[in-house]
Amino acid sequence: MRWSTYLQIFCVALVFVVGAQGDAAKPECSQNQPQGTDDRLKTLRSHLAQDSNNIHAYIIPAGDAHQSEYIAPYSMRRKFISGFTGSAGTAIVTRTKAALWTDGRYFLQGADELDCNWILMKAGLPTTPSQTTWLNQELPAGANVGADPFLLSINSWSSYEKALATAGHKMIPISENLVDKVWLDKPSRPDAALIAMENFYTGRSWKSKIDELRGQLRAKGTFAIIVPALDNVAWLLNLRGDDVPYNPVFFSYVIVTLDTIELYIDESKVKPANIRTHLELDNCANPHCITVKPYNQILTGIKAISDGNPTGKIWLSPRTSSFAIYNQVKPEQRYLEPSPISLTKAMKNDVERQRMRETYIQESALYCQFMAWLSKEIKSRPANLTEMSADKYMENMRWNAFKDFKGLSFATISAVGPNGAIIHYKASKKSDTKLDPDQIYLLDAGGQYLGGTTDTTRTWKFTPGTAYERECFTRVLMGQIDLARAVWPEGTHGRVIDIFARQPLYQAGLQYRHGTGHGIGIFLNVHEGPGRIAPGVPRYYEKPLSPGMFFSDEPGYYEAGKFGIRLETVVMVKKAKTPYNYEGMQFLDFEVITFVPIDIINLIDLKLMSKEQRVWLNKYNSDIRTKVGPYLKERKWDEGYNWMLEYTKPIPITDEQPPNGNSAYSSSNTVAIALVTATLMMIVNYFNRH
């Protein structure tokens, strides 16, 4: 290993370790919960014992055959078998035990939802064993571990296989999913209609995207690519669907070769005349003719492509292609690299950027109108004002206000008091809590519009916050501002600038267990790669922050049993205007596109903020007035307009700093740490290139 590799690992570890904290993983459950998974586990274990492969353990991932984050009800096998509803997490069932691994976003939720048949494994904590470490400890010598090969990516399968082999165990692909044998009332696969996207929204035709993709195939010496990721298929063909909750995608695969295009989909979806016209199915001309084939024939189609050109290379994405797909391609034909579509899709063109800006103006205006209503309602303390009723009111506002609204982009997080500490909380009939003006209220909401995907979080209190609540809120705000103000050299990954958002919290000994920024699609998935802003060891598919990428800027702070705070503003990467350009180097920064006021009335402590941060906040509030104000007036949302004016009043700008710097924050500390980290990373990159 080169010395520069050691240095790079050290740099990343330095940023991550500073923020790492938390208790050791422990088996947890609520003794008061009914043991709802008894019969399911008993039946599943009977299938393990009866399977001809003599299976000792069975892996049940959260995803579907397309490695999706959000999945349709018919794919929710892990939820069915365990009762855990979080989006991230893997269940493993042996003949005697059941365990579920999930990350810090879901520790509280997992403890609440899992019954006592299950061991909650808090992934990422020092004392929590990995899945394969636990299996190697639990299983007898030479055991067989089964999994559905469609539900694990190439990388995931390989990782399990290598780690289990060290203890003499084998990974066995089970063609018929064993959970499906237990899940007798399993829903059917959705079959919603497709939407053909106009160039007004996409900025380019699907034919031009195919041509660009074929150029990328030639550049890598490949003749075909298999596209299993649903958002990549939707983007490539300028189509949208409604098969998966919150994400406007549809079940399909595409195989693109240098000469052909094959679309594997339920054929009823492409029968409408507008879809046939959009895809030119009845009047096509090579090389843009699309052949439609049944969705379930994808493995047969892959084998035919492979057999038809036995010496050609086929591009497979290790992260989004399943092991089942991988097995259909001859070993000598496999070209493994992240799909080029993901990066192209993430770097939005000029038309897409403008549609997103417009979408966020109308979304910000709606948020103002909603908050005007909520502020008035909550002070009268009506008995029917709860987390769920507030959520439903906002959703109804969207349906009534916007013709281009197509649904929510994720399950709204409407959380009051202690519920806000559950990072991905979803109010239910069991947990639904009355809104209390004396408790902190966190609202994370977003919508799917033809022009873009929205995701906005704000935290409010309707009576004066305590000194501690104000400090926590203000430190979260300071981190959000510092990240929004960041400038960095082109080629920098998001993990390098993540420290900007965390430093104000670190200085007070506070932390949050989630990434700071995720990519966002254009009327597509609310979580989109291949860029991200988060600490930790770099992932092989991550790409540097590049112009046209949209990210959330969302630091937070959560105290179990008390409150949760998160502020989420969407930003777009753009070229920075700097007075100098060292050796011709291009620098980048962010353009803010969310314009929703911050709670400067009840939750801010100005004494903690630097002059630069206060100047930024005043400029932000001024932008809200000039950008959102006219839209509110145009819609005649007078309540929202007046509320917006109240929450965007200028705050004082002063050079006075808190005494001794004990509780104060100096933005220069963040700059120093970030610059040191960025400099070290630049040194590493220099020596790697030379």
pLDDT of residue 380: 87
Is residue 207 included in any domain, yes or no?
yes
Question: pLDDT tier at 348 (50, 70, 90 boundaries)?
Answer: very high
Q: Are residues 588 and 474 in the same domain?
A: yes
Question: pLDDT tier at 305 (50, 70, 90 boundaries)?
Answer: very high
The alpha carbon dihedral of 490, 493, 496, 500 has a sign of positive
- Quick one: average pLDDT of 285-302? 96
Is residue 678 included in any domain, yes or no?
yes
Is residue 2 included in any domain, yes or no?
no
- Quick one: average pLDDT of 605-632? 98
pLDDT of residue 7: 42
pLDDT at 259 over 80: yes
Q: Are residues 57 and 167 in the same domain?
A: yes
Q: Are residues 164 and 301 in the same domain?
A: no
- Quick one: average pLDDT of 175-192? 93
Q: Are residues 248 and 294 in the same domain?
A: yes
- Quick one: average pLDDT of 458-483? 98
Pairing of the two strands 57-60 and 144-147: parallel
Q: Choose among 149, 177, 144, 156: nearest CA to 76.
A: 177
Q: Are residues 604 and 569 in the same domain?
A: yes
Q: Are residues 340 and 366 in the same domain?
A: no
Given 330, 345, 360, which residue is the final one in a domain? 345
What whole-number distance in Å separates Cα of residue 274 and Cα of residue 542?
37
Q: Are residues 512 and 584 in the same domain?
A: yes
Beta bridge partners of 173: 147
Is residue 10 included in any domain, yes or no?
no
- Quick one: average pLDDT of 7-25? 39
DSSP 512-547: -SS-SEEE--SSS-SSEEEEEE--SSPPTT-----T
Q: Are residues 205 and 161 in the same domain?
A: no
Is residue 190 included in any domain, yes or no?
no
Distance (Å) of CA 196 to CA 72, 200, 263, 471, 585: 21, 12, 15, 48, 41
pLDDT at 656 over 70: no
Given 314, 345, 376, which residue is the final one in a domain? 345
pLDDT at 158 over 50: yes
What CATH number did the domain enclosing 403 receive?
3.90.230.10
Question: pLDDT tier at 655 (50, 70, 90 boundaries)?
Answer: low
pLDDT at 23 over 80: no
Tell me the per-residue pLDDT of 443-456, one tens digit each, with 9 for 90 and over.
999 999 999 999 99
What whole-number distance in Å separates Cα of residue 149 and Cα of residue 131?
17
Given 293, 318, 345, which residue is the final one in a domain? 345
Q: Which domain holds residue 220?
A: 195-345
pLDDT of residue 171: 97
pLDDT of residue 683: 42
DSSP 13-24: HHHHHHH---PP
Cα-trace Rg, the chain = 26
Question: What phi-psi label fits residue 593: left (phi over 0), alpha (psi between -120 and 50 degrees) or beta?
Answer: alpha
What CATH number did the domain enclosing 229 receive?
3.40.350.10
pLDDT at 137 over 90: yes
What whole-number distance in Å separates Cα of residue 471 and Cα of residue 492?
31
Q: Are residues 636 and 517 in the same domain?
A: yes
Tell me the per-residue pLDDT of 204-229, one tens digit each, with 9 for 90 and over.
999 999 999 999 999 999 999 999 99
pLDDT at 686 over 50: no
Evaluate whether 608 touches 475 at the Cβ level (below 8 Å): yes
Q: Are residues 178 and 300 in the same domain?
A: no
Question: pLDDT tier at 660 (50, 70, 90 boundaries)?
Answer: very low
- Quick one: average pLDDT of 357-374? 98
Q: Are residues 562 and 430 in the same domain?
A: yes
Question: pLDDT tier at 478 (50, 70, 90 boundaries)?
Answer: very high
Distance (Å) of CA 51 to CA 46, 58, 91, 274, 347: 9, 11, 19, 47, 47
SS3 664: coil
Q: In 3-state terms, the chain is what percent helix, strand and coil (to 5)?
A: 40, 20, 40
Tell me the per-residue pLDDT of 527-564, one tens digit each, with 9 for 90 and over.
999 999 999 877 888 999 999 999 999 999 999 999 99
What whole-number distance in Å separates Cα of residue 298 and Cα of residue 325?
8
Is residue 309 included in any domain, yes or no?
yes
Long-range contacts of 147-150 (CB under 8 A, 24+ apart): 147/58, 147/59, 147/60, 147/61, 147/171, 147/172, 147/173, 147/174, 148/173, 148/174, 148/177, 148/178, 149/173, 149/174, 149/175, 149/322, 149/323, 149/324, 149/327, 150/65, 150/322, 150/323, 150/324
Pairing of the two strands 550-553 and 569-575: antiparallel
Is residue 306 included in any domain, yes or no?
yes
Question: What phi-psi label fits residue 186: left (phi over 0), alpha (psi between -120 and 50 degrees) or beta?
Answer: beta
Evaluate whether 387 touches 419 at the Cβ level (below 8 Å): yes
Q: What is the mean pLDDT of the chain?
A: 91
Domain count, the chain: 3
Question: pLDDT tier at 4 (50, 70, 90 boundaries)?
Answer: very low
pLDDT at 688 over 70: no
Q: Choose among 596, 627, 666, 560: nearest CA to 23.
A: 560
Tell me the per-residue pLDDT of 108-133, one tens digit each, with 9 for 90 and over.
899 999 999 999 999 989 999 999 99
Q: Are residues 320 and 430 in the same domain?
A: no
Tokens of 462: 């309707």
Is residue 421 included in any domain, yes or no?
yes
Q: How far apart are the first and last CA of the chain?
A: 15
pLDDT of residue 191: 87
pLDDT of residue 35: 62
Tokens of 661: 């710097």
pLDDT at 670 over 80: no
| From 82-91, 259-268, 530-539, the region with the lowest mean pLDDT | 530-539
The torsion angles phi and psi of 99, rounded to 5 degrees, stand at -135, 150
What whole-number distance in Å separates Cα of residue 641 and Cα of residue 204?
36
pTM over 0.85: yes
pLDDT at 345 over 50: yes
Residues 6+ apart with CB under 8 A from 583: none
